[in-house]
Amino acid sequence: MRCLIGIILLSSLNLLNAQSRLPSFHSELIETLEIDTLLQNSPSEYFVQKYEYDKSSGTLVADNVVLHYFFKDDVLDHIDFIKNKDILKSNRYDKYGRIVRQERFEYKEKIKKLDYTYDDEQKLAIETVYRLGDRIHSQIVIKYNDKFQVTSKEEYRGKDQLTKFWLYKYNDSYDLISDRYYDAAGQSRKEGSNKYTPLDSTYFKHSYDFQNRKTKTLKYHENHLASETTFSYFPDSTVQKETFFNLNGLSNEQHVTIEHDSLKLVVRGFFFNGDTTKVRSRFKEVFLYNDLVEYEKRTSSGTYVDRFKTYYEYDEIGNWIKKTTYSNGLVIKKEERTIIY
């Protein structure tokens, strides 16, 4: 769905403002939701009913949870998760499209509320998890650099008991060069010092052309080469080829990504015993505005194992109201969107 996750692009002015503000918090505790950034004619709300194919009945079955999106002054205000007319949970957003709260209303839920705060000047964002009685269960603190790239992530039990953390470093071109994970709760510190020893480390080496465009990235996990990525640039597109290696140094997988405007093609191939001339299987994915609209899987003999495509239907305003996905000619998924203007 022509979307960016968690961010609403509002106007040219808000786009400029967004460049100086932290991004929306990406939490493992919050569902990744599709938020349409290309809506026309300023709708006040819309809701989406999803259907999935059920093999046992051979029919499409409606999802029992409906997502209801509400807007205020052309800005996403909140999203309700509704089941049988009851609100199971609700997400709230600020005027920049960032999530600021999720409340959960089911009585069996152990987590009752998640709050998100953003300090754009200090470049700091905090997730606070509450259980019953507004008791703080845990916190995650994320710090950013001037380019709003994550420099550290810290997890706490309660508000002040550090349990684990990650540190990220970048070069002068703002490309990631190291990613380290530390276990604070395990007290894995160097003897005689207050410094922790990383339990897991990943490093990156980058090469650039005369225009300072990245041409190659080598990724090392601990002491072995994990992947090599090359970049090629053309007047109307870019091509990225990433090759993955196993522990014995043999290549076992390769991804080729071609991007042209809003269209992206990804081909993923898997090799026989490191031989890049012998493909075990291949997957092709076509994205439009980051929405997967076509997928295809082939075996080494070239036989289709699975293939699906997604088609849209639009209202008179130009907003989509139905999205149907076919797999080998069979409808396996459908989304119906009702928009209120």
42-45 long-range contacts (CB < 8 A, ≥24 apart) are 42/71, 42/74, 42/341, 43/71, 43/319, 43/339, 43/340, 43/341, 44/70, 44/71, 44/340, 44/341, 45/69, 45/70, 45/71, 45/339, 45/340
Tokens of 280: 């075990």
- What are the tens digits of pLDDT across the range 287-312? 998 889 999 998 877 777 888 999 99
Select the more confidently predicted residue: 14 or 174. Answer: 174
Select the more confidently predicted residue: 273 or 209. Answer: 209
User: Judging by beta carbons within 10 Å of its beta carbon (0-12, 13-18, 19+), is residue 79 exposed, middle or buried?
Assistant: buried
What secondary structure letter does DSSP report for 132? G
**At 174, which amino acid appears?**
Y
Mean pLDDT, residues 47-76 taken together:
95
* Distance between CA atoms of residues 247 and 225, nearest Å: 8
Half-sphere CA count of 337, side-chain side, radius 13 A: 23
- Residues 123, 140: contact at Cβ < 8 Å? no
- What are the tens digits of pLDDT across the range 110-141? 999 999 999 999 999 999 999 988 899 999 99
* Distance between CA atoms of residues 184 and 198, nearest Å: 10
- Whole-model pTM: value is 0.84
What secondary structure letter does DSSP report for 14? H
- What are the tens digits of pLDDT across the range 77-121? 999 999 999 999 999 999 999 999 999 999 999 999 999 999 999
* Least trusted range by pLDDT, from 147-151, 176-180, 207-211, 289-293: 289-293
Alpha helices by DSSP H, the chain? 12-18
Q: How far is CA 81 from CA 64, 67, 120, in A?
A: 10, 5, 29
The residue assigned the tokens 């080998």 is: 328
- pLDDT band, very low/low/confident/very high, at 19 (cuts 50, 70, 90): low
Mean pLDDT, residues 175-195 taken together:
77
* Distance between CA atoms of residues 59 and 334, nearest Å: 11
* Residues in Cβ contact with 185 at an 8 Å cutoff, skipping those fewer than 6 apart: 157, 162, 163, 164
Mean pLDDT, residues 153-177 taken together:
96
- pLDDT score for 20: 85
Helix, strand, or coil (residue 12): helix
Q: How far is CA 165 from CA 11, 142, 170, 198, in A?
A: 36, 10, 17, 9
Whether the per-residue pLDDT at 189 is higher than 70: the answer is: no
